[in-house]
Amino acid sequence: MNTSLRWDIFCQVIDNYGDIGVCWRLAAELGARGHRVRLWVDDATALSWMAPRGAAGVQVLPWPGKAPPDGTGDVVVEAFGCEIAPDFIAAIARHTGDGGKKPLWINLEYLSAESYVERCHRLPSPLMKGPGAGLTRWFFYPGFTERTGGLLRERDLAARQAAFDHQAWRARHGIAPHDLAISLFCYEPPALAQLLAQLGPRPGAHLLVTPGRATAAVLHEIGLKPVWMDRQQLSFSYLEPCPQPAFDEMLWACDLNLVRGEDSLVRALWAGQPFVWHIYPQHDGAHHAKLLAFLDWLQAPASLRRFHALWNGLDSAPALPLLDAATLAEWRACTAAARARLLAQPDLLTLLLGFVAEKR
């Protein structure tokens, strides 16, 4: 395979974090490996803080209504079921690259631990009509097992983590070595009030609240209980938006990470610290099966399963499991074992590049 390919990655933003976060990490890592990337996005505003310095080899462009004058890339990635404009699809059908090769069209799917992922990964989807008639779109599923497309993992991740000064980060944020630091990146978790009630009287507990919906949810709960605020010892840090590497470092430094969506779930796994996942809620309840499948893969202990069930509204028991030292140690061991399993597998981009080499 040509060592440098041109990639077109299409991303439609849903909540300014998950979809664009995954697509940016993919684009930036492609650029770091010597490829040329055009990232077509309908709302790039989040990149102003998520990736303020950009990335070598990556060009961010507005969502196209038609194909650019210089044609399509060697590889076209349609992320998360976004729909490419018919004129661009027609350009894919017309394009002939080096050696007469057509572009490889890939549908990068959502992350799941459900069994269908292994069955559907790498399956073809021939187009029978429309501007793309005669083309084949290939499904590429990220996942947690060797029979899936793996997870995004930068080649320098291990080196960055090894060089990271955990205690210096905590000191800069006013967190003592033995304090309990918890990051909060969530939607509106049903059990947030229970978490605040458990942490409120605990000396040395710090809640690092990310901007947006997490901050709004916390301020709403506090507003409902002004008297409680007079008695609590929990410290709150309301954070500003930050670049992706800084978000990763926060996860490395905290004792518990409450994360949401797809990109931050993967980053919590790489962090190796205890975490709880707030899965994106769907009106038909399909996220319940998705969450349970992930917890099965994770081999989550009973206390971690119960916390997830309450945090995601699958259960309405009156109290969350206590976040004591023994519980967090059990969760940390679970995360470490899962991380080790993942590190023994190839990363998503390595597998994707191999797939491209095979199909082109």
216-252 pLDDT, tens digit per residue, is: 999 999 887 765 666 678 999 999 999 999 999 999 9
d(Cα 194, Cα 200) in Å, to the nearest integer?
10
pLDDT at 125: 96
pLDDT at 268: 98
Q: Do residues 136 and 9 make contact, with C-beta atoms less than 8 angstroms apart?
A: no
Model confidence, pTM: 0.95
Catalytic site residue from 8, 19, 109, 249: 19
Clarify whether 188 is annotated catalytic.
Answer: no
pLDDT at 218: 95
d(Cα 121, Cα 213) in Å, to the nearest integer?
33
Using CA atoms, how far residue 156 sits from 33, 160, 190, in Å, is: 11, 6, 37
- Low-confidence residues in the chain, pLDDT < 50: 1-2
Using CA atoms, how far residue 168 sits from 113, 235, 237, 357, in Å, is: 36, 19, 17, 43
Set out the domains of the chain in order of their start, with CATH numbers: 6-150+345-359 (3.40.50), 157-343 (3.40.50.2000)
Q: Could you give the 3-state DSSP secondary structure of residue 150?
A: coil
Clarify whether 262 is annotated catalytic.
Answer: yes
Catalytic site residue from 29, 74, 248, 262: 262
> Which residue has tokens 């009030």?
193
pLDDT at 141: 98
Q: Which residues contact 193 (CB under 8 A, 6 or more apart)?
A: 221, 224, 225
- Alpha helices (runs of H) in 33-96, residue ranges in sequence order: 47-50, 86-94
pLDDT at 280: 87
pLDDT at 1: 44
